[in-house]
Amino acid sequence: MRVLGIETSCDETGVAVYDSERGLCAHAVYSQTEIHAVYGGVVPELASRDHVRKTLPLIRQTLTEAELSPEQIDGVAYTAGPGLIGALLVGAALGRALAWAWEVPAIGVHHLEGHLLAPFLEDKPPPCPFIALLVSGGHSQIIHVPEVGIYQLLGESVDDAAGEAFDKTAKLLGLPYPGGPQLARLAERGDPTRYRFPRPMTDRPGLNLSFSGLKTYTLNALQQTLGERDDTEQVHADIARAFEEAVVDTLVIKCRRALESTGVPRLILAGGVSANRRLRERMAAAMQPLGAELYYPRAEFCTDNGAMIAYAGWRRLAAGHQQPLAITPRPRWPLTDLVPLA
Amino acid sequence: MPANPNDQPTILALETSSGACSAALLHQGAITQHLELAPRRQGDLLLGMLDALLKAAELKLSEVDVIAFGQGPGAFTGVRIGTAVAQGAAFGANRPLLGISSLAGLAHAGWRHYGGGEQRLFAAIDARIGEIYCGAFAVNGQGQAQPLGSETVTTPEKLTVPEIAVTHGVGNAWALYDEPLRARIDLAQAQIASTIHGEAQDIAALARWSLDQACAAELAQPVYLRDQVAAIPGSALLDSAPVAA
């Protein structure tokens, strides 16, 4: 079965074709980052407008690259939520109409299920059960996955998402939007002993997370050093390092706790922040004493993409799920509301 | 594709730029339509309407000559739902796509309402924040619309219109801005209908006259008219606040 996947939930247009026999046939992502950079954040109306321009050309491009004709596509999957309503509507309307015209089934995919299943696009997919750490600009969640389609929320951020905290802290350090990845690069040059930020909510039981307080620590550290140090660039690198260490350490502590409390010996990392090198290294090191395995997708499938939507869509279509002839995106859609596959 | 209206083209049309959702099929010279006044429910309804029209006519989507859609201006979300559905349908069935001005569609709806013949209509709809989307059209006895000047988004107070004697004013802007509009438009003989919406049947009727402008699906794009929708931080007027990615 070959499934066309369409992702338009935020500021990336992603399209892919997944073949249940051969794996991923082709995928393409167009990022709107440059459009939104001057605004310091995603402008929903501009995002929606750009998806209308880019989605269909990307579909044509992906089919060409996959050397597939439309008759060879057996289903269409599109992100139905959560996300920006206007952006979701574009992919959902186009995808649902395309499936109607092709006379094939369609499925609205949960964006986070897409992320959680992204490691299945790799050669060595994780067996179930596993614990998933989903960390992106919009979400920070720790999820127990006994089997594909069943998602039990163990903990989540009570305020900023991890990626959001990265971007906001980057802004405080004068880095252009979206500063998360740049902050990580800056942190490489930072002295890890210069500042120490707290590891929020690690001193109490439970698996919830909180990252908004780290912004305050960043501001305080910046103000403290005003007049004390004149090597501004190094100060920024040191603060970036302290921030990154705090986020990574917190995530490691919570994931270790999740594995220990559930007895599940497997962790997957998903979402944009899971591309962070230090997070992957630290998490891998933390798995060893637990005898647990770590899985994560290649970097390009950590951020929003069509491949994960095509894959998750295939899993649901193969299990007999279908979307009726209506375009009904859900901008707010708890992962735990998803119906099991079988 | 038929070269002129006499060849009786088969046209599947949709219009979602206003609070209404409508789909129409022009086939063998006859038009059928589904329409619902359904603000924010276009996504629920549109594909079902299109599907029902084709089924009733025992047609496949690939058998229509052209897919036509109201491309705006109008409610941004409605315009995009219509555009995306039209794009998906046209690409999927390998059919050409034709975008028709929603203001021209509204003028055509007015022309129908007032019994045909030769009319000069001023179509104007609410664009929020004190502005209107508007355009003037001459519609001939066969229902072919010619734009008189270009379509604009403006405040009623800053409106400049071609010096024509308008016979009819249509669109909901007339209910909101009757006085400033009357002050600027030659309405000596005019009748006003502010409750009329452009419908898919109007889009289909207008499409007959511009079949040669149908194009590949991705080339048909919405017309917003309002392009200033966000302000760079530090500058004036924030229409649309940024959100975290």
Integer Cα distance of B143 and B116 in angstroms: 7
The yes/no answer on whether domain A128-296 falls in CATH 3.30.420.40 is yes
Interval A330-341: pLDDT, tens: 999 999 999 999
pLDDT at residue number B161 = 78
Q: Judge contact between B61 and B86, C-beta under 8 A.
A: no
In a domain, B207, yes or no: yes
Cross-chain residue pair A42–B88, CB shorter than 8 Å = no
* Contact check, Cβ <8 Å, A59/B91: yes
Let me know whether B125 and B111 are in one domain.
yes
Q: Which of B81, B93, B232 sits opposite A327 (nearest CB)?
A: B81
Where b means 16+ CB within 10 Å and e means fewer, B67-78 reads bbbbbbbbbbbb
Chain A neighbors of B81, CB-CB under 8 A: 89, 93, 327
Which residues in chain A have their CB less than 8 angstroms from residue B222's CB? 49, 52
- CB contact under 8 Å between B239 and A45, yes or no, is yes
Percent of chain A with pLDDT over 70: 100
**pTM summary value:** 0.95
B204 and B97 assigned to the same domain: yes
Contact at CB, B80 and A86, closer than 8 angstroms: yes
Burial B8-21 (b: 16+ CB within 10 A, else e): ebbbbbbbbbbbbb
**Residue A324 scores a pLDDT above 90:** yes
Collapsed DSSP state (helix, strand, coil) of residue B100:
strand
Q: Collect all residues of chain B within an 8 Å Cβ-Cβ radius of residue A89.
A: 43, 77, 80-81, 84
pLDDT, position B242 = 47
Chain A CB contacts of B45 below 8 Å: 326
Q: How far is A92 from chain B (nearest CA, A)?
A: 9
Q: B162 and B115 in one domain?
A: yes
**DSSP class of A256:** H
Residue A122 distance to chain B (closest CA, Å)? 26
A-chain residues within 8 Å CB-CB of B233? 39-40
**Residue A256's closest CA among A214, A287, A229, A284?**
A287
B149 and B188 belong to one structural domain: yes
Distance from CA of A263 to the nearest CA of B (A): 34
Contact B14, B203 (CB under 8 A): yes
When divided into structural domains, chain B yields a total of 2
The tens digit of pLDDT for each residue in B60-95 reads: 999 999 999 999 999 999 999 999 999 999 999 999
CA distances from A314 to A4, A48, A66, A147 (A): 9, 26, 17, 16
Chain mean position to CA A166: 14
Residues A300-318: tens digit of each pLDDT: 999 999 999 999 999 999 9
Residue A198 pLDDT > 90: yes
**Is B230 close to A46, i.e. CB distance below 8 A?**
yes
- Give the gyration radius of chain B's Cα atoms: 18
The residue that leads in pLDDT, A324 or B228, is A324
**Neighboring chain B residues of A41 at a CB cutoff of 8 Å:** 242-245
Q: Which residue does chain B place closest to A41, by CA atoms?
A: B242
Q: Which of A180, A212, A139, A195 is closest to A278 using CA atoms?
A: A180
Which CATH number covers residue B29? 3.30.420.40
State how far residue B46 is from chain A, nearest Cα, in angstroms: 8
Per-residue confidence band for B1, with pLDDT thresholds at 50, 70 and 90:
very low
Chain A closest-CA separation from residue B167 CA (Å):
36
Provide the domain limits for residue B41. Answer: 5-101+198-219
Residue from the list B221, B230, B245 with its beta carbon closest to the beta carbon of A11: B245
Residues with Cβ within 8 Å of residue A249, at least 6 apart in sequence: A199, A202, A282
Q: How far apart are CA A254 and CA A238, in angstroms?
A: 24
Chain B residues in contact with A303 by the CB 8 A cut-off are none
Say if residue B174 is in the same domain as residue B107. yes
Q: Does residue B228 lie within any of the structural domains? A: no
Encode A4-46 in three state secondary structure. Answer: EEEECCCCEEEEEEEECCCEEEEEEEEECHHHHHCCCCECHHH
Q: Within this chain, do residues B15 and B93 fall inside the same structural domain, yes or no?
A: yes
Token representation of residue A180: 């998360």
Q: Which of B50, B229, B244 sits opposite A45 (nearest CB)?
A: B229
Residue B169 forms part of a structural domain: yes
Q: Are B121 and B164 spatial neighbours (Cβ–Cβ below 8 Å)? A: no
How does pLDDT run across A30-81, given as a tens digit for each residue?
999 999 999 988 999 999 999 999 999 999 999 999 999 999 999 999 999 9
Residue B3 pLDDT: 45
Residue of A nearest to B220 (CA): A53
Tell me whether domains A2-117+301-337 and A128-296 share a fold.
yes
Would the pLDDT of B39 be above 90?
no
CB–CB contact A49 B92 (8 Å): no
Are B135 and B65 contained in the same domain? no
At A86, which amino acid appears?
G
Interface residues of B toward A, Cβ cutoff 8 Å, are 43-48, 50-51, 61, 76-77, 80-81, 83-94, 217-218, 221-222, 224, 229-230, 232-233, 239-240, 242-245
Across the interface, which of B45, B239, B245 has its CB nearest the CB of A167?
A: B245
Residue B236 has pLDDT above 80, yes or no: no
B137 with B164, same domain: the answer is: yes
With tokens 């004013």, the residue in question is B169
Residue B164 lies in a domain: yes
Name the percent of chain B lying above pLDDT 70. 93
What is the rounded distance in angstroms from the CA atom of residue B48 to the CA atom of residue B45?
6
Whose structure tokens read 């119906």?
Answer: A339
Chain B residue with CA closest to A57: the answer is: B218
Contact A168, A23 (CB under 8 A): no
What per-residue string of b and e applies to B202-215 under the rule 16 or more CB within 10 Å gives b?
A: bbbbbbbbbbeebe
Q: Nearest chain B residue to A56 by CA: give it.
A: B218
Q: Is the pLDDT confidence value at B167 over 80?
A: yes
Which one-letter amino acid corresponds to residue B158?
K
Facing residue for B245 by CB, picked from A60, A99, A138:
A138
Same-domain pairing of B107 and B168: yes
CATH 3.30.420.40 fits A2-117+301-337, yes or no: yes
3-state secondary structure of A328: coil
Give the pLDDT score at B164.
81
Please tell me the predicted confidence (pLDDT) of residue B240: 46
DSSP 3-state helix, strand, coil percentages of chain A (rounded to 5)? Answer: 45, 20, 35
**Position of tokens 């917190």?**
A250
State whether A89 and B244 contact (CB < 8 Å): no
